[in-house]
Structure 1
Amino acid sequence: MKDKIHLACIIDDDSIYINLIKKIIETKKLCENLLVFNDGKEGIEYFEALLQNLDEKNIPEVILLDINMPIMDGWEFIERFTKIKNKFNSHITLYLVSSSIDVRDIDKAKSLSTVENYLVKPVKIDELEAVFNKTA
């Protein structure tokens, strides 16, 4: 088994969800560090800036991405992220996390090679542990 995940990233505008997930990650010691962005634009700007200075320790190994957010939603983030993902030397695993149970959203997510899986909110503790243990 690989070492514990060094850095994970949450891109979501729901502060209650963010606090819950942060607490679970901290309590279960699922990763060492956590980045939080409140919309896709903040998130994609971070990744695009990383391309200028590929410092491995600043590249998240896991991204938990919401679909419905203001400014830039999850679909727009994925569209831009897909164009730059292969420029990173690290493997980045992206999970869509949404309260949407719309089959069209789930099918669309599962059809994208950039997306590892689709998780429905509220995410269960064992699902979150599986995400981090699968990547570790």
Structure 2
Amino acid sequence: MTTFLIDDDSLSNYLTETLLKMEDFSSDIRTFEAADEALAELVQQPEQARVVFLDLHMPLMSGWEFLDALAPYRSRLLGNCRIYILTSSLALEDLTRSHGYDLVAGLIHKPIDSGEIRAIQAAMAPADLT
């Protein structure tokens, strides 16, 4: 399984990647500071198993724009891609809006912790994303 970290904050990416490695979350962790770069790679092989940690507030392409851009690939991504919004925003509107995207598996407030990573691992059935 491949994990994408999409956040314009390099420190946030570093901390999340370090924690994911400590928890043996994924064998392949890719970091992106621009959502459009991650999008280009993701849609090349939408059937590949991936977990995505996505920041919402980024320049050029926001997390919401990233999610909207996935719409044409939705049927090929479902079952293969889980997206977790990883945000510092405490806005209730973000949580409510995230429910409109069936690829979004959850919203996590930064910084992510070991317990949340273990909960994500536990939520993934053995047949999912392998």
Structure 2 length-normalised TM: 0.85
Aligned mate of 1:83, from 72, 78, 88: 72
Aligned mate of 2:21, from 1, 26, 51: 26
Q: Deviations over 1:9-42 (max 9, x none)?
A: 1111111111111111111211111111112111
State the match for 1:40 in structure 2. 35
Measured in 2, the distance between the counterparts of 1:128 and 1:14 equals 20
Aligned mate of 1:118, from 88, 92, 107: 107
Secondary structure at 1:117's aligned position in 2? Answer: strand
Q: Which stretch of the first structure deviates more once superposed, 42-51 or 121-130?
A: 42-51
Measured in 1, the distance between the counterparts of 2:73 and 2:50 equals 15
Structure 1 length-normalised TM: 0.82
The aligned runs of 1:1-136 (5 Å cut-off) are: 6-50=1-45, 59-88=48-77, 91-135=80-124
Percent of aligned pairs with the same amino acid: 22
Name structure 1 gaps, 5 residues minimum. Answer: 1-5
Aligned length: 125
- The answer to which structure has the higher helix fraction is 1
Which consecutive segments of 4 or more residues in structure 1 shift more than 4 A? Answer: none
| Alignment RMSD | 1.8
The one-letter amino acid of 2:92's match is: V
